[in-house]
Amino acid sequence: MHEAPTLSTAGVTLLETARRFRREQVAPHAGRWERERSVPRETLRAAARLGLTGIEVPPELGGQGAGFLAKTRIAEEISRSCMAFAFSLINTQNAAARIARHGSKAQIERYLAPLIAGERIGCTALTEPQAGSDFPAIATTAQRAASTVRRHGSPTPPSPTSSRFTPKPTLPQQAPGSPPSSSIPAHPVSSASVLTQ
């Protein structure tokens, strides 16, 4: 018989923090966010100040080092009130954790602190004709080839009707010098992974 995994001390503390945050900051506003299809960026920043955007990031890189189980339990807790916010939060956390684990020194220096602070938003956005947004069914791959990357498969940019949540433009699509949006999309939909300010 296998023992169920248990949360670390850091994970237990962070889960309780997430529970309070959900009750005080997410639950009272979730209905409005759903109607508006938008979550204020300040709410993500507030979660970041509590350590919720660096759950799996090692402490020596500015994160909590609480592990995968803590991340799943925190996602479950936040989702009790608002799945869209939990999705945005965990995607940002995942981007930070991946950069912390596998990023180059330059990527860590450029992106990690802003992700952990909630100043940048990480998201995974994908679609394919046969898979939609079902991660395991995605068939497109990329291979390094000399100084380039070759794509195999056919990711398809979504139509504006492919989701009832349409994304706001990411920073690279905005006009130079324009201020960043004051909110984040509830569900980003695209065929690329992006970091936005």
Domains of the chain: which residue ranges? Answer: 9-121
- Please say whether the beta carbons of 11 and 76 come within 8 A: no
Which tops the pLDDT comparison, 122 or 176?
Answer: 122
Bridge partner residues of 142 (DSSP): 151
The number of beta carbons lying within 10 Å of the beta carbon of residue 17 is 17
Residue 86 CA, chain-centre distance (Å), reads 8
Question: Is the pLDDT confidence value at 19 over 80?
Answer: yes
Average pLDDT of the chain, as a whole number: 79
* Architecture in CATH for domain 9-121: Orthogonal Bundle (1.10)
So what's the pLDDT on residue 97?
95
So what's the pLDDT on residue 154?
66
Determine the average pLDDT of the residues in 122-148.
Answer: 77
Radius of gyration of the chain (CA): 17
Q: Classify residue 123 as exposed, middle or buried by CB count within 10 Å of its CB (0-12, 13-18, 19+).
A: buried
So what's the pLDDT on residue 109?
95
Determine the average pLDDT of the residues in 153-177.
Answer: 42
Q: What is the pLDDT of residues 26-52, one digit of tens each?
A: 999 999 999 999 888 999 999 999 999
Which of 85-99, 127-141, 143-157 has the highest mean predicted lDDT (pLDDT)?
A: 85-99
Lowest mean per-residue pLDDT among 19-23, 42-46, 108-112, 147-151: 147-151
